[in-house]
Amino acid sequence: MKTNSISIDGQQITFREGQTIIQAALEAGIYIPYLCYHPDFEAHGSCKVCTVRVNGSHCSACTTFASDGQVVDNHCEDLNSSRRAITQMLFVEGNHLCPSCEKSGDCELQALGYYLKLFGSHFPHLFPHREVDATHPHILLDRDRCIFCELCVRASREVDQKNVFAISGRGIDSELVVNSPSGTLLDSGLDVNDKAAHVCPVGAILIKNQAFQVPIGQRKYDKNRIDDADLIEVKHDHIDS
Amino acid sequence: MIETTIKSIIHHHASDPTRLLDILLDLQNQFGYLSAETITQTADLLDIPVTRVQGVVAFYNFLYAKPVGRYRILLSNCIIDTMHGALAVMDQFCQQLGIKPDQLRSDGKVSIAETSCSGFCDQGPAALINGVAIASLNSQRIASIVNLIENDTPLKDWPAELFQRPDNIQLPGYLLKQAITPGSAISSLLSRGTQATLDEIEQSALRGCGGAGFPTASKWRYCRDAEARQHYVVCNADEGEPGTFKDRVLLNQFADQMFEGMTICARIIGARQGFVYLRGEYLYLKDKLQQIIDERTANHWLGNDIAGVTGFDFEIKIRLGAGAYICGEESALLESLEGKRGIPRIRPPFPVTHGYLNQPTVVNNVETFATAAKIALEGSQPFNQQGTANSPGSRLLSVAGDCTHPGIYEYPFGTRIDQILDDCRAENTLCVQIGGPSGTMIAEADFHRHISFEDLPTGGSFIVFNGTRDPLEIAGNFVAFFAHENCGFCTPCRVGTTLMKNTLSKINSGSGSQDDIAELHQLCELISKNSHCGLGQTAPNPVMDTLACFAERYQAKVNNRTFTPDIDLEAALQEARQLTGRDDPAAHLDQFNE
Amino acid sequence: MTTSTAKINIATTSLAGCFGCHMSLLDIDERIQDLAEVAVFDRSPFTDIKHCNQSDIGLIEGGVCNAENVHVLREFRKQCNILIAVGACAINGGIPALRNNIPLKECLEESYIDGLGVVNPQIPNDPELPLILDKVYPIHEIVKIDYSLPGCPPSADAICAFITDLLAGREPTLPDELIHYD
């Protein structure tokens, strides 16, 4: 008999047809860590932070549909340790110097690190050379901090319908590029009110002149751990809709 | 003027953005490289974001955003070509042409760089010159190529003997003994009936020959049963697994049969359009393949009303790849076929329901289509009376490396490795890489095992290494390949393959430690379990296999050191020494602090 | 916990750092008296001991930017049972690592040749001076470290919590509210 329920770490939850595991989990108040997932956009499945074990095999919770009777492992030491390593990979791949970043305290990569009790980088840093684009009067693009979640790409394409951002290149040489004659944000048509200007989970795309309106120490993830913060948001969205 | 040329090339491709790769390749042939201006105008004319064109240019190895030589030499850095002296070939070219790798000669005439396996491992070292394959490079051939370049001789006027590429079929079997008569399998299909033909293929238990081994009949049935406007047949002729070259030989000798297999598939699933996605390295085969398509069309084995049957319409187009191993993954291939970067899609949905342009699509390998045609003609029996219970039929192996008779061997499934080693005259064999870098490395203790889906599955690559080889250097070459060829989509593979490459290279350079070995174990586990597609899931295999088979060699290289720096300290001081002119003892650091 | 007769030796140093982590350590205020009950400082800016003796815990602030940093770090590794990377710079290079994207030549020329107010321009080459590395490196890339204590600086509470765990023989960790990278 169909019950539309799955078990996550032994807890039975129900899901609606067409929901992915992460959607069902968040709605049921269970946090699965993620970076590239966003409820407003098509699932992407690239960061691999939300990797869970479903009936024994690893898969992304954001791209795997919930189906009756699935047995999902989420919070267990081996999965969290993989998530920690993946997060460390993101840290060493770019140039993430939190003390010099105005996103600090509001940054999801950082908050995920806190959540996973990630204290050090572990891997050797790659210290890549990436270009900063400060041409736009209101928006800054600091590629050093890009984690290739493509949220800006998706937001610009799906919501703003502008295609301002895209990923170019391949492998470790991938880069975030801007769709404009000059290749910079200046003539890209990106507006400060666009979704794409606000969706970056890290400090790669920032609104200028707002750096320290909220002091360090009083920011989103200074107050709430990322799991609590995200579950609160899901709850609000649920009530709003 | 430039604009007119761009316009006419785009027009020639029906201003269709899905044909972006073809368009860019043509533009590049015209202009030598793809300038920012060309890229912008192409985007404008196709009405797509300029970033999409940029992204594609930067994704594929054979597309250039910066000027390259009028003669561009790409040397295959496949492990086998390296064993056959590719490094010396590089040196000779560089010396005689007065160039350095990845640099354009000041007169703009010539440039040289490395490329991944070019598919001529039985006759390496091999190169692509302006995209055209030249094999068996030796001092004499290098000298004559240098001469031709310096004399500005157009490639088309180069002596034919430079372009000889023997097929080296060493052991023909079921498939290779004799090609079917063109049209004969279509006749059988029509007389036996569509459903009965699918049943026959089902009976044969034919499984995809690209490596994954999905049952062919099931794939075709799922695709047929998916309701849609259009169905498509795609032939994956993008064999990029280092060490494999059997599809090149099939394309050269059995293309007619492969097209016939595609046509039968089209009839069964109800497709009117097919594509052959031909790897860029096999550019030289394109005209020949097109000619066969034209002949088949003239003979009514392609086109409208095939074999006189009203409504049996099917056409095949050849689409060229542009140097990206990942496009051998079927969903990345479809992206590429749609004129995009080859990023593997999220699966499910699978191509059988959501493939090319989101329509149901069968993607099969060259060998699979050729075999399906033969089964349609002769029935399932001749095929499945060989092989093992779970792996009926035969498998083409591209045998190369340390053996006297490299080439194509066709074996029934179930053939033992030591038998194959005997047949190709391999001596003093240390290990064999089966199925290429993404496959399995086995050492002598396992030579009794056999080729089959249940024991040692393979997409056809079979690389022999003798006792003079260093398995860790081999793994280093393979891992560098994955670090270079991964698409960059998911974190564990994008970052992990580079970390794995650096760690292994640290060990191979003699600066590694026990910690690095432990690190490799962890990276392998992490990358294989968390990656988005098959590339990442299998990229750690060479490291895992060598760690298992040759643990003592790792130990020997790390020399009991428990920890060593990740950076080369002397190298890190080099620039400062130069800038200050210092060379006193304090201007140096001991790497190991022993 | 150790007895007063066998105090724990703690050594500290700042490599390419700003001494902010040391300031934060001093911010533990009166708790330093409790610490003094059970521990003594060996080589440290607080003691001015020049070389590290055998110690139980070594706290390293700052990344590795020159040859001398490498020597000091190695001495600490050799002498300390437990070595801890303290603060952002030790962990990932921190603010000094902002230079990693600028060629060393440009850095030195800006400082010693083209910079504003430079007199007698020349790139210093006295053998007495530590030779600078091409980049600023996290300490875990040079020596094996046992733990990392993040923060810029880690708060006094975080340092206290970490050291208290260690002194108690526990695996050190931090409660959520004390984990910060900034």
DSSP structure string for B316-365: EEEEE--S-GGGGSHHHHHHHHTTS--PPPPSSSPTTTS-GGGS-EEEEE
Q: Is C133 close to B563, i.e. CB distance below 8 A?
A: no
Distance CA B313, CA A187 (A): 48
Distance CA B33, CA B39 (A): 10
Which residue of chain A has the CA closest to C180? A114
B-to-C residue pairs, Cβ atoms closer than 8 angstroms: 59
The residue out of A77, A94, A126 marking a domain boundary is A77
Interface residues on C facing B, Cβ-Cβ cutoff 8 A: 67, 70, 74, 103-105, 108, 123-125, 127, 130-135, 137, 141-144
Q: Is A99 close to C135, i.e. CB distance below 8 A?
A: no
Which residue of chain B has the CA closest to A150? B489
SS3 content of chain A, % helix, strand, coil (to 5): 30, 15, 55
A-to-B residue pairs, Cβ atoms closer than 8 angstroms: 114
- On whether any CB of chain C is under 8 Å from the CB of B499, the answer is no
pTM: 0.97
Q: Is C125 close to B577, i.e. CB distance below 8 A?
A: no
Two structure tokens written together for B409 = 């061997």
Domain with A46 in it: 5-77
Q: Is B563 close to C67, i.e. CB distance below 8 A?
A: no
CA B490 to chain centre: 21
User: Among C79, C125, C141, which would you mutate to test the B interface (most chain B Cβ atoms within 10 Å of its Cβ)?
Assistant: C125
From residue C49, how far is each of A199, B213, C12, C78 by CA, in Å? 51, 68, 10, 16
Residue among B288, B235, B230, B298 nearest B263 (CA): B235
Q: Is B484 close to A171, i.e. CB distance below 8 A?
A: yes
The answer on A44 and A106 residing in a single domain is no
DSSP 8-state code for residue B63:
-
- On whether any CB of chain B is under 8 Å from the CB of A177, the answer is yes
The CA-based diameter of chain A, rounded to the nearest angstrom, is 60
**Average pLDDT of span C44-61:** 94
The answer on A67 and A93 residing in a single domain is no
Q: Kindly indicate the confidence band of residue C139, based on its pLDDT and cuts at 50, 70 and 90.
A: very high
With contact defined as beta carbons under 8 Å apart, do B408 and B168 qualify? yes
- Calculate the dihedral angle through the C-alpha atoms of B482, B485, B489, B492, rounding to the nearest 10 degrees: 10
**C119 backbone dihedrals φ, ψ, rounded to 5°:** -110, 150
- On whether any CB of chain A is under 8 Å from the CB of B502, the answer is yes
Tell me: the pLDDT tens digits for C17-45? Answer: 999 999 999 999 999 999 999 999 999 99
With contact defined as beta carbons under 8 Å apart, do B302 and B344 qualify? no
In a domain, A112, yes or no: yes
Q: Is C100 close to A95, i.e. CB distance below 8 A?
A: yes
- On whether any CB of chain A is under 8 Å from the CB of B522, the answer is yes
With contacts defined as CB-CB under 8 Å, which chain B residues touch A169? 55, 58-59, 488
With contacts defined as CB-CB under 8 Å, which chain A residues touch C95? 97, 99-100
Distance CA A199, CA A153 (A): 10
CATH number, domain with residue A56: 3.10.20.740
Tell me the residue length of chain B.
594
Two structure tokens written together for B499 = 């970390």
Q: Which chains touch B (3 or more CB pairs under 8 A)?
A: A, C
Q: Hey, what long-range contacts does B39-42 have (CB within 8 A, 24 or more apart)?
A: B39/B65, B40/A181, B41/B2, B41/B3, B41/B6, B42/B6, B42/B10
DSSP 8-state code for residue C75:
H
Distance CA C51, CA C44 (A): 9
Calculate what percentage of chain C has a pLDDT beyond 70: 97
Tell me: the pLDDT tens digits for A20-58? Answer: 999 999 999 999 999 999 999 999 999 999 999 999 999
Q: Kindly indicate the confidence band of residue C1, based on its pLDDT and cuts at 50, 70 and 90.
A: very low
In a domain, A143, yes or no: yes
Which residue of chain A has the CA closest to B63? A169
Which candidate from C70, C74, C134 shows the least CB-CB separation from B575? Answer: C134
Question: Bridge-partner residues for B111, per DSSP?
Answer: B72, B104
Q: What is the pLDDT of residue A3?
A: 86
CATH number, domain with residue A131: 3.30.70.20
User: Among B503, B513, B575, which would you mutate to test the C interface (most chain C Cβ atoms within 10 Å of its Cβ)?
Assistant: B575
Q: Where are the domains of chain C?
A: 8-98+135-179
Residue among C100, A127, C130 nearest B576 (CA): C130
- Calculate the dihedral angle through the C-alpha atoms of B294, B296, B301, B304, rounding to the nearest 10 degrees: 10
Two structure tokens written together for B254 = 């059995």
Specify the residue for token string 């997409």: B459
Asked if CATH classification 3.30.420.40 holds for the domain at B396-465, the reply, yes or no, is: no
Pick the CATH number of B71-166 from 1.20.210.10, 3.40.30.10, 3.30.465.10, 3.30.360.10: 3.40.30.10
Angle between helices B569-580 and C104-112 (to 10 degrees): 40
Distance CA B474, CA B242 (A): 12
Average pLDDT, chain A: 95
User: Among A73, A170, A178, which would you mutate to test the B interface (most chain B Cβ atoms within 10 Å of its Cβ)?
Assistant: A170
**Average pLDDT of span A150-171:** 97
The answer on A129 and A67 residing in a single domain is no
Distance CA A30, CA A22 (A): 9
Two structure tokens written together for C147 = 């733990």
Distance CA B34, CA A159 (A): 31
Interface residues on A facing C, Cβ-Cβ cutoff 8 A: 91-92, 95-101, 104-105, 110, 113-114, 117, 119-122, 124-125, 127, 129-130, 144, 216, 222, 225
pLDDT > 60? residue C2: no
The answer on A91 and A71 residing in a single domain is no
With contact defined as beta carbons under 8 Å apart, do B495 and A89 qualify? yes
Q: How many CB atoms lie within 10 A of CB A215?
A: 9
The answer on A93 and A142 residing in a single domain is yes
Q: How many CB atoms lie within 10 A of CB B213?
A: 17
Two structure tokens written together for B509 = 């350079």
Distance CA C78, CA C82 (A): 10
Report the CATH fold assignment for C8-98+135-179. Answer: Rossmann fold (3.40.50)
Two structure tokens written together for B479 = 């891992």
With contacts defined as CB-CB under 8 Å, which chain B residues touch C132? 576
CA A4 to chain centre: 28
Pick the CATH number of B171-384 from 3.30.559.30, 3.60.15.10, 3.40.50.11540, 1.20.1090.10: 3.40.50.11540
- Calculate the dihedral angle through the C-alpha atoms of A94, A100, A104, A107, rounding to the nearest 10 degrees: -20
How many distinct helices (H) and strands (E) make up chain A? Answer: 6, 10
Distance CA C58, CA A83 (A): 29
Q: How far apart are the first and last CA of chain B?
A: 67
DSSP 8-state code for residue C96:
G
B184's CB contacts (< 8 A; 6+ apart) are: B377
Q: What is the pLDDT of residue B163?
A: 96
With contact defined as beta carbons under 8 Å apart, do B204 and B393 qualify? yes
Question: Bridge-partner residues for B396, per DSSP?
Answer: B410
Q: Is B522 close to A43, i.e. CB distance below 8 A?
A: no
The answer on A185 and A68 residing in a single domain is no
Specify the residue for token string 């692509």: B128
Distance CA B382, CA B393 (A): 9
Q: Is B580 close to C125, i.e. CB distance below 8 A?
A: yes
Residue among B243, B25, B29 nearest B126 (CA): B243
CA C6 to chain centre: 25
CATH top-level class for B472-557? mainly alpha
Question: Bridge-partner residues for C80, per DSSP?
Answer: C55
The answer on A116 and A157 residing in a single domain is yes
The answer on A192 and A174 residing in a single domain is yes
In a domain, A238, yes or no: no
Q: Is B265 helix (H, G, I), strand (E, B) or coil?
A: helix
Which candidate from A46, A165, A175 shows the least CB-CB separation from B491? Answer: A46
- On whether any CB of chain A is under 8 Å from the CB of B498, the answer is yes
Q: Could you read off the pLDDT tens digit of each residue along chain B, which spans 594 residues?
A: 678 999 999 999 999 999 999 999 999 999 999 999 999 999 999 999 999 999 999 999 999 999 999 999 999 999 999 999 999 999 999 999 999 999 999 999 999 999 999 999 999 999 999 999 999 999 999 999 999 999 999 999 999 999 999 999 999 999 999 999 999 999 999 999 999 999 999 999 999 988 788 999 999 999 999 999 999 999 999 999 999 999 999 999 999 999 999 999 999 999 999 999 999 999 999 999 999 999 999 999 999 999 999 999 999 999 999 999 999 999 999 999 999 999 999 999 999 999 999 999 999 999 999 999 999 999 999 999 999 999 999 999 999 999 999 999 999 999 999 999 999 999 999 999 999 999 999 999 999 999 999 999 999 999 999 999 999 999 999 999 999 999 999 999 999 999 999 999 999 999 999 999 999 999 999 999 999 999 999 999 999 999 999 999 999 999 899 999 999 999 999 999 999 999 999 999 999 987
Which candidate from A60, A148, A170 shows the least CB-CB separation from B59? Answer: A170
Q: How many CB atoms lie within 10 A of CB B172?
A: 14
Q: Is C88 close to A99, i.e. CB distance below 8 A?
A: yes
Q: Kindly indicate the confidence band of residue A235, based on its pLDDT and cuts at 50, 70 and 90.
A: confident
In a domain, A180, yes or no: yes
Which residue of chain A has the CA closest to B483? A171
Residue among B247, B279, B278, B275 nearest B262 (CA): B275
Question: Bridge-partner residues for B441, per DSSP?
Answer: B433
The answer on A95 and A58 residing in a single domain is no
Residue among B219, B231, B194 nearest B368 (CA): B219
Q: Is A89 close to B492, i.e. CB distance below 8 A?
A: yes
Which residue of chain A has the CA closest to C84? A120
Q: Is B587 close to C137, i.e. CB distance below 8 A?
A: no
Q: Where are the domains of chain B?
A: 2-59, 71-166, 171-384, 396-465, 472-557
Q: What is the pLDDT of residue C19?
A: 97
Tell me: the pLDDT tens digits for A133-145? Answer: 999 999 999 999 9
Q: Is C138 close to A114, i.e. CB distance below 8 A?
A: no
Q: Which chains touch C (3 or more CB pairs under 8 A)?
A: A, B
Q: What sign does the dihedral B190-B191-B193-B197 (CA atoms) show?
A: negative
In a domain, A233, yes or no: no
- On whether any CB of chain C is under 8 Å from the CB of B171, the answer is no
Q: How many CB atoms lie within 10 A of CB C144?
A: 14
Which candidate from A97, A122, A225 shows the least CB-CB separation from C95? Answer: A97
Q: Is B567 close to C141, i.e. CB distance below 8 A?
A: yes
Residue A39's identity, in one-letter code, is P
Tell me the residue length of chain A.
241
- On whether any CB of chain C is under 8 Å from the CB of B587, the answer is yes
Residue among B487, B482, B471, B500 nearest B116 (CA): B482
With contact defined as beta carbons under 8 Å apart, do A207 and A197 qualify? yes
The answer on A165 and A64 residing in a single domain is no
Please name the helix (run of DSSP H) or strand (run of DSSP E) that holds residue A143, with its range, or none: none
Q: Hey, what long-range contacts does A48-51 have (CB within 8 A, 24 or more apart)?
A: A48/A86, A48/B490, A48/B491, A48/B492, A48/B530, A48/B531, A48/B532, A49/A83, A49/A86, A49/A87, A49/A112, A49/B491, A50/A22, A51/A79, A51/A82, A51/A83, A51/A86, A51/B529, A51/B530
Specify the residue for token string 């790849």: B321
In a domain, A228, yes or no: no
Tell me the residue length of chain C.
182
ipTM: 0.97
The answer on A191 and A97 residing in a single domain is yes
B160's CB contacts (< 8 A; 6+ apart) are: none
Q: Is B529 close to A58, i.e. CB distance below 8 A?
A: yes
In a domain, A230, yes or no: no
The answer on A139 and A90 residing in a single domain is yes
Nearest Cα of chain A lies from the Cα of C143 at a distance, in angstroms, of 12
With contacts defined as CB-CB under 8 Å, which chain A residues touch B495? 89-90, 92-93, 126, 172
Nearest Cα of chain B lies from the Cα of C137 at a distance, in angstroms, of 9
